[in-house]
Amino acid sequence: MSFSSIVVLPPIPTTPAAELGRQNVAVSQVPFMEARIFRSEFTYKFQVSTGWKFLRLYFYPTRYGSDFSSNSYFFSVSVDGLTLLKNFNADLM
């Protein structure tokens, strides 16, 4: 089975975008070179049609500027009340 559709959520203009300075040569490819940084809880909502969906989350532990220490930030991901990730930190994997 192959999936070629990619949904990129639109940026939220009130949040800072942190850009990755350079890609680690040990990683084959980083799909996105910037990240949206939130200092409090936030929500993305988008409509999808009925049926099975695949959700792919990309995590790349790196330093996004001096204000963001990647090893001290944890986050959770929930969809319709189902917790997919809880207190996750890609830097600690």
Question: What's the domain count of the chain?
Answer: 1
Question: CA 26, CA 24: separation in Å to the nearest integer?
Answer: 5
Q: Report the pLDDT value the prediction gives residue 52, as an integer from 0 to 100.
A: 87
Phi, psi of 71 (to 5 degrees): -85, 0
Q: What is the pTM of this model?
A: 0.52
Q: Are 74 and 87 in contact (CB under 8 A)?
A: yes
Decide which of 29 and 78 is more confident. 78
Q: Given a cut of 80, is residue 2 above it in pLDDT?
A: no
Distances, alpha carbon 21 to alpha carbons 33, 36, 38, 67, in Å: 8, 15, 19, 14
Pairing type for strands 17-19 and 34-36 reads antiparallel
Domain that holds residue 33: 1-93
For the segment 20-38, what is each residue's pLDDT rounded down to a tens digit?
A: 556 566 666 666 666 677 7
Question: CA 52, CA 49: separation in Å to the nearest integer?
Answer: 9
